[in-house]
Structure 1
């Protein structure tokens, strides 16, 4: 009995650590994706054409489709080698042809495919291997990796000088190949999903995976309990017909798809351009271009806060409060850009710059919950397909914004007000429709999503 309490105690990070260790290689892949995400939303020293900006999003869509079709085809360890190899090939192309736009576009396609493959695989796998006390922490690693990688891109873009006789994309390629090699080296830490083995009828191997996912790595009564819960989860999901499972997936899909798409209004090209303009007009930076550096750092701090609170406090209350704050700050920026006289007023632009920074830290707090909910929402039979669909839709919203937005102060006003209102309405709707899934097993979280209304916040 003591052992069961030891493993199930939410304070025993050491016990659950093999679960997050199994996902470390994916984090380094997401770091490389953060570079390309930042470039796509405007953090680039050189300006390239529209195809260059959107090709990474298209690559992600391709990768997501491939992942949904292939994710159960081979073992997890062999599957994650493919995107890490693509990351390294992409980095080599970037370094060797950093002056060639076509080669850079090809490299961005390759990295996008790698991120699409990794995202679907990661979310599916992390949700299945993590305990109810560690699942939020594990799934939050995706957004933390992307935000940290984007910060590095923002950092050297802000500090880059035209006097340097070195192409910034060559530096990006160097960073990416280092992270790609580390990801490849760390792929040996991956532990297979017991759920996948149970679906294949291999119970001994599934039990072996459970033993390895919790410290100490010896069989105990508590691990048998965990195994039995996973077996029940798989049995219930496999007993449902594909048609019924599809019908049960539609309501969670709609909610999670809209929830995840909120990220596209937080990390967006118009927001980047609003920050760059407000920083220039306000003239707040002197020798060092510090506003973008602080802007990116605040996003990382926010992601760390969200990462730390997913299991300790919960998903719903903290994330919706953060999204509400982002909505308010974004609307405030839109109001400032509505008045042409305010746009040339250094004080008003300094206020806009501050509002954007505040929005960024709360955006970082909100972001991890989108991945956590995505890993918990769907019945097992359709899970990988709907994860892929949700990620594709999110990045297609990004693509549409990049393709349709032309910078003018009026367009900034329209975007910021529209995005802020959408996020505010989202907060109201999500308050009644999103469940609080902290300390729930996958089976219990799935049951929570089957209900339409959720009024609790704890």
Structure 2
């Protein structure tokens, strides 16, 4: 009995000799392990009360550490989710400040569209015999501005660029409005407006892509650039079509002065909007290390101006976008941008072909009589309205139907119509050319509305502004090159074949970036094949 009593009084020494004392190993609480999905093991009490142990004698057996695997670097944080608000007008109202930031540049683009229409032929008869240099002066000025913009440092405030370009637009409009049939003054006005548009083009698309929410980036980018240019083209055609020859004599008031006045007004309104409503890109602020400023910019880019879950979700996405792009050197970024550069240059070149001076000449030729003024005016007006309508509808539906679908639809229809237009010139009456040209313009507006969004999201961050400028320069060069009007039907056969070929290539190579983050969109442009996944 004495031996059994001795064994029961000292169980630790014989039965659990390897168990460490309480002070040698700190206990791991259940709360510390529960956060990793582990629960502390509980030991049932022995039925024999003589074998139970006091709390001082509990055994602290260490559990193996949990295996924690960090999420992949490309995966967004699991707790940041942006929700697309229901209702079209609700989304518009919530994100109105984002569009307000871009309205100043949109007004500059409207004045640029007016000068594009003037340069390709929609001008009064006083200027029908001007030199080639004057007719392409706006495009040369835009190339100069885009070249300067491509080499500007990306940390230069976009507000300052927009203010300067608005001032150039005002001066160019005043010069055009205050002179009458003065070729030197007209050339200077075209150069100033061209430089303003080329200089503001790339920074505007950079800002548009970086401040827009993922579910409205297509609409915001397209309505800022493509829709604005097409509205300016329509406005110039409207001014040109509604004026009579009596206003075009040397001592009177002519429609070109109206264009100058409108350009000056657009520039002044843009100057006020840029000074009052412009907000710098939150991505650029994060790239400079100004996280507090970026957070405040995101707050002011949505209505109401309060911090909410979506504000922090956008901040997390932008930080991930900046972090991944910082890992790329400038050389790696340029190499990664090359496939997107080739694809977007092709799209923008086709856009220039769809509204070049060749198209104007074909439209004028289809009226069959130069002296039928009323018929010519109505033909021109319908022509401009069709292009504007196609661009307008596609811009507002782009985030619903997608970029790729609208582009493919416009390309295949334009290709077939171009071949049909070329075939019509074999007949002496050109019976259906006007109708086919109007439909062609409508689907050209559909085809190239998405190119604005593609430009804003395709290129890596370090070289984005440079490559957007280079893409715009390639488009402007095509405007200058297409000046011959000798072979109309051959021109339409050629561009028809090009449109169809690009349609077939785009099925394989063009990605769909609808409702994706900037980082995801950039990944989808990597390589020659437009994949849906990185």
**TM-score bucket (shorter structure):** over 0.9
Which of 324, 332, 355 is the aligned partner of 1:236? Answer: 324
Q: How far off its partner does 1:182 sit? A: 1.2
Work out whether residues 337 and 460 of structure 2, in 8 Å CA contact, stay in contact via their aligned partners in 1. yes
- C-alpha separation in 2, matches of 1:98 and 1:292: 24
Which of 165, 170, 174 is the aligned partner of 1:83? Answer: 165
**1:65 aligned to 2:147?**
yes
* Structure-2 residue corresponding to 1:379: 460
* Structure-1 residue corresponding to 2:348: 260
**1:185 aligned to 2:272?**
yes
* Structure-2 residue corresponding to 1:430: 506
**1:106 aligned to 2:188?**
yes
1:408-454 residue CA offsets vs partner (Å, 9 max, x unmatched): 3xx10111111111111111111110100000000000010014323
Which structure 2 segments of 5+ residues have no match? 1-77
SS in 1 for 2:410: helix
After superposition, residues 32-47 of structure 1 pair within 5 angstroms as 32-45=111-124, 46-47=127-128
* Structure-2 residue corresponding to 1:420: 496
- C-alpha separation in 2, matches of 1:213 and 1:107: 35
Q: How far off its partner does 1:282 sit? A: 11
SS in 1 for 2:225: helix
**1:398 aligned to 2:479?**
yes
Work out whether residues 237 and 384 of structure 2, in 8 Å CA contact, stay in contact via their aligned partners in 1. yes
- C-alpha separation in 1, matches of 2:260 and 2:226: 21
Q: How far off its partner does 1:168 sit? A: 2.3
- C-alpha separation in 2, matches of 1:283 and 1:433: 48
After superposition, residues 186-335 of structure 1 pair within 5 angstroms as 186-187=273-274, 188-281=276-369, 289-335=377-423
* Structure-1 residue corresponding to 2:230: 147
Which structure 1 segments of 5+ residues have no match? none
Work out whether residues 424 and 431 of structure 2, in 8 Å CA contact, stay in contact via their aligned partners in 1. no
SS in 2 for 1:398: helix
SS in 2 for 1:280: coil
- C-alpha separation in 1, matches of 2:184 and 2:496: 36
- C-alpha separation in 2, matches of 1:148 and 1:181: 18
- C-alpha separation in 2, matches of 1:243 and 1:42: 42
Structure showing greater relative contact order (alpha-carbon pairs closer than 8 Å, 6 or more residues apart):
1
**1:49 aligned to 2:131?**
yes
Work out whether residues 30 and 142 of structure 1, in 8 Å CA contact, stay in contact via their aligned partners in 2. yes
Q: How far off its partner does 1:219 sit? A: 1.1
- C-alpha separation in 1, matches of 2:529 and 2:82: 32
Work out whether residues 252 and 450 of structure 1, in 8 Å CA contact, stay in contact via their aligned partners in 2. yes
1:217-267 residue CA offsets vs partner (Å, 9 max, x unmatched): 111232112101100100100111222112111111111111221101111
Structure 1 runs of 4+ with >6 Å offset: 282-285
Q: Which has the higher helix share?
A: 1
SS in 2 for 1:391: helix
Work out whether residues 99 and 167 of structure 1, in 8 Å CA contact, stay in contact via their aligned partners in 2. no
- C-alpha separation in 2, matches of 1:111 and 1:322: 30
Q: How far off its partner does 1:287 sit? A: 6.5
Q: How far off its partner does 1:97 sit? A: 2.1
SS in 1 for 2:367: helix
- C-alpha separation in 1, matches of 2:294 and 2:243: 50
After superposition, residues 12-51 of structure 1 pair within 5 angstroms as 12-45=91-124, 46-47=127-128, 48-51=130-133
* Structure-2 residue corresponding to 1:170: 257
Q: How many residues align?
A: 444
Structure 1 residues 70 and 282: CA distance shift in structure 2, 3 A: closer
* Structure-2 residue corresponding to 1:123: 205
Work out whether residues 279 and 285 of structure 1, in 8 Å CA contact, stay in contact via their aligned partners in 2. no
1:311-359 residue CA offsets vs partner (Å, 9 max, x unmatched): 111000122111211111111111122x2xx13x2xxx23011000000
Structure 1 residues 77 and 314: CA distance shift in structure 2, 3 A: same
Most deviating of 72-81 and 319-328? 72-81
Q: How far off its partner does 1:73 sit? A: 4.3
- C-alpha separation in 1, matches of 2:373 and 2:183: 32
Structure with the greater alpha carbon radius of gyration: 2
Work out whether residues 71 and 121 of structure 1, in 8 Å CA contact, stay in contact via their aligned partners in 2. no
RMSD of aligned Cα (Å): 2.1
Work out whether residues 142 and 197 of structure 2, in 8 Å CA contact, stay in contact via their aligned partners in 1. yes
**1:443 aligned to 2:494?**
no
Structure 1 residues 317 and 285: CA distance shift in structure 2, 3 A: farther
